[in-house]
Amino acid sequence: MQFREIPGHDELKLKLCKNVAEGRVSHAQLFSGREGSGALPLALAFMQYISCTARTADDSCGTCPSCLKMSKLIHPDLYMALPVNQEGSTDSLHTTPFLVKWREAYLKNPWLGLEDWVDVLDIGNKQPFISAFEAHEIIKALSLSPVESEYRFVLIWLPEKMRAEAANRLLKTIEEPPDKTLIILVTKSYDSLLKTILSRTQLVKVNRLTIPEATSVLQKITQLDTGRCNLAAEIAQGNVVQARWLLQHGDEAEAQLDLFRTWMQSCYGFMVPELIRLTDLFAKETREWQKGFFSYALYIIRQTLLMNSEASLAHVTPSEKAFLDKFRKFFHPGNYSIITEYIDEAVFHAERNAHSKILFFDLSLLIADVFRKEKEKAAQINA
């Protein structure tokens, strides 16, 4: 992966290249960005840049033996640690037996998310994790001298999935790794990491992509038209992983609108039995579907503000417009920020595997309370 293959992040790319040129490469770096931001391909592009034997001021050459091996994830000096799981005993669970699947999945889609990887692993309801045995394997790998490159590289994808014992085993290695070693951790959940990990790594913040940048990525990996990719990017707020999921499940758009319509009507009317029924329906869906629904809800609520101020700026389907023409009067700048903040917080907890029923029902009650207070205020004014 070369930097030029990754849309956006121009300032960050230049900064990373400049650090290499000036010999200021921290031995342990934490690439932190929300899912779909490109943190993983950026980390691998950075490793490829460092190992490249003919790099330029702003990118790897892409053609030297080192670049070719890095781009295929087969460089002998690259060790990758991933969250995995399997049937049976997990006492000696580590990444190596899963590398063929990982390479195939990543090379097919460098923007894959955790749920994509879980689907590849085919582990049902089991959660992938990074084991203490994996930590032992990382330490062992770093004890070896580089074979072809100047550096020995370790990529730890989603360190928030490390078991406590694994994290504790790695602390000393992260703080004082062998000479000519580069450890890069790639997280989508900075706040979930141990403070002892955070204090031992240099933070590299990866911002979310802009809508045009995300659209460009989506066109490349889905081969769909610009209009559909742009709409999905807008709904997902630049999250490529979420937007791709929306494109793949486009037939569910009407179902999401129906659920959102019923949900908002139930919140507004404080219809508790109906909210309980909707909560049960929500909890039956996959985690990715749930996050997709929250993204869709945020998108629709944003469109109500646009329709209230300048209808021509709104991007909605005829079905969505028919609903919003009736319901948009209940959304305004006064409650918009409160409701979207509640939903954003729900997304945060959904990404951390919060209990689905509690999450959705609690969110519903919070939104219902916003509407209730507004109705009470209106009644007092009209009294």
Sheet holding 152-157, edge to edge: 78-81, 152-157, 181-187, 28-32, 202-205
pLDDT for 98-111, tens place per residue?
A: 999 999 999 999 99
> pLDDT value at position 137?
95
Measured CA to CA, the distance from residue 192 to residue 23 in angstroms comes to 31
Give the model's confidence band at 78: pLDDT under 50 very low, under 70 low, under 90 confident, else very high. very high
Give the model's confidence band at 250: pLDDT under 50 very low, under 70 low, under 90 confident, else very high. low
Token readout for 36 is 């779909």
Q: Which residues contact residue 56 at a Cβ distance below 8 angstroms, ignoring those fewer than 6 apart?
A: none
Which of 109-138 are b and which e, b meaning 16 or more Cβ less than 10 Å from the residue's Cβ?
Answer: ebbbbbbbbbebbeeeeeebbbbbbbbebb
CB atoms within 10 A of CB 337: 9
Same fold, 3-207 and 249-382: no
Superfamily of domain 3-207: P-loop containing nucleotide triphosphate hydrolases (3.40.50.300)
Q: Would you say 118 and 35 are in contact if contact means Cβ atoms under 8 Å apart? A: no
Nearest CA-CA partner of 360 in 288, 291, 270: 291
Measured CA to CA, the distance from residue 324 to residue 308 in angstroms comes to 10
pLDDT for 348-379, tens place per residue?
A: 888 777 899 999 999 999 999 999 998 888 78
Q: Would you say 30 and 232 are in contact if contact means Cβ atoms under 8 Å apart? A: no
- Residue range 249-382 forms a domain whose CATH class is mainly alpha
Measured CA to CA, the distance from residue 150 to residue 153 in angstroms comes to 10
Name which of 55-69, 175-189, 348-362 the model is least confident about.
Answer: 348-362
Token readout for 330 is 């209940």
The residues spanned by each domain of the chain are 3-207, 249-382
pLDDT for 191-245, tens place per residue?
A: 889 999 999 999 999 999 999 999 999 999 889 999 889 988 988 889 999 889 8
Measured CA to CA, the distance from residue 179 to residue 200 in angstroms comes to 16
**Mean pLDDT rounded to a whole number for the chain:** 90
Q: Kindly state the percentage of the chain with pLDDT values over 90.
A: 63
- Residue 58 phi/psi, 5-degree rounding, is -135, 5
Measured CA to CA, the distance from residue 361 to residue 162 in angstroms comes to 30
Amino acid making up residue 341: E
Taking only Cα atoms into account, the Rg of the chain, rounded to an integer number of angstroms, comes to 23
pTM of the model: 0.79
Give the model's confidence band at 49: pLDDT under 50 very low, under 70 low, under 90 confident, else very high. very high
Name which of 109-113, 120-124, 168-172, 270-274 the model is least confident about.
Answer: 120-124
- Residue 183 phi/psi, 5-degree rounding, is -110, 120
pLDDT for 1-10, tens place per residue?
A: 999 999 999 9
pLDDT for 111-134, tens place per residue?
A: 999 888 988 998 876 789 999 999
Nearest CA-CA partner of 169 in 134, 144, 141, 219: 134
